[in-house]
Structure 1
């Protein structure tokens, strides 16, 4: 199967190219970049010298891509730009995995509040948000367009969603503190990302307004709605559950930080335990939820995740502790923001969508 990467010269795009060019089940046939059109792939990504298969960057023209023989495209583009390409590619019957934020938010009003005007709102009903370890498998047969989760949301949703679904934690007073390597900001020529600014220095940013907050809260709200619907269905006087487009509202305090490292995300979530909930019960829920998940690693009690142990992998490590003094669970996770938080997860989605081994090209 032939695949293409649109926007292949950014950090995520480059990593996607490196994964796909060695993937055992696909042929990377198209790589686009307006800035590098006409240049050999290895001239822009020197790591691929001798392994670039003669690929040359082409201009990012939606109509030309739609007419190509690629069956699937990855969109590694900024929000706003991705929607234009998705419209042309979906109309041509191509499978599309979008790594921008354009189709991560189901509610148009919420998207507009955080990102501005949507460039292809008619596609929102056809888009599926897919976090492979959490999203029900039915998406594989139904999807036309897949939104790959953001890096921060992945680090929060993987540990928290199963616990919300099981009713083991409160839906209120959730605080998530996340530290990200500066590659998460992309190839921006801004003062805040200069080496002399970030080396030996960590800082909070985007407090109360980070764009990933909309994605995190929408997905957590859906998880709570699923739990409440399940409770209602088990009640003796249960009536058909109301359908909720984006779930019941759930708010968290999300505090993102820039950390003095190139790659990786470390997240700590503090959440009140539900009455009677125990650490053993929490670990049992995680073990059941991720028993068949090759890229989720539940650490032993007393251990905490370390970005040094996950960078370069598509794995997310998670751990938990209970504080009897505050009656809070403290959840921790670590991932590579460019792999499990972006390109690696997108390849994982492709593998599941196309019937390949989930770990293909990601071992």
Structure 2
């Protein structure tokens, strides 16, 4: 059933009409709820035509920032501009319909008493009735659902409702599309396919898209750039490759992959770790540091190497195996993810190796 639905989408979907992408800029945005600061001086720009993901844990401020961009919340300080036109600031606050933005909510927010076509037509208030119907029909064809025009939302699957919500958001051809956790309600089996279809449509439309997600893998799959937030602050901004390979903090490293953590001290420009000695870079002498090694960077082989270890537990996960290992001189077990069947069954005494460049060092906050 899923395969046939995807095939129908590919066969019938028309290309999305190109919109004029806008630049959206947050300038020193601050926001508070009941005296508690939720956004703490964020400055960030979504460039025309790019997909920018706001990524972070619950409570990091990503949805609040999106709502400020949409005009659903008012910041307490700072400005929001779209193509250098102030839409929210000390003396200006335009409502959502005046900002040229499209909104797509986590629960899709489809009107249950309206047909699919009527849902999409609802926001096309600047057009005549005839024009609105034609544009709504074209939007449905772009997402491959024109045959569902007269159905009601409850008759559609979660993935189909998501595509209707996307069609409705793109129908007015907004310069900026704002998407709040758009895939969180989908079945995990459908999520990858729907996400890929959505990204294709976004790239065809060339609209600027800001996507909120708490899923690091989802952000890496979709984003041209990722803005990582924590406690209302911007932690790091960059391409998925930048944030994964060159994390700026222990928090960044741990958000994109599981890590083993150690404490260390800089001595003679280096840090001694249980898995090897590594350069401290520009971190000062005597400073305390946090050391991180990704589970996937720990290689486990039969005994005989430089770092002996004993297998405490071993879980088969399909493509990979998850291991916990006791290493002399380390209180907490080392965790590793290795390719399945790399280590012979029944082997308990092993050696571990880590490339020096895979040992990450971060200065501890004072």
**Structure of higher CA gyration radius:** 2
- If the TM-score is normalised by the length of the shorter chain, which range does it land in? under 0.3
- Flag the structure with higher helix content: 1
Tell me the TM-score normalized by structure 2.
Answer: 0.27
Tell me the TM-score normalized by structure 1.
Answer: 0.27
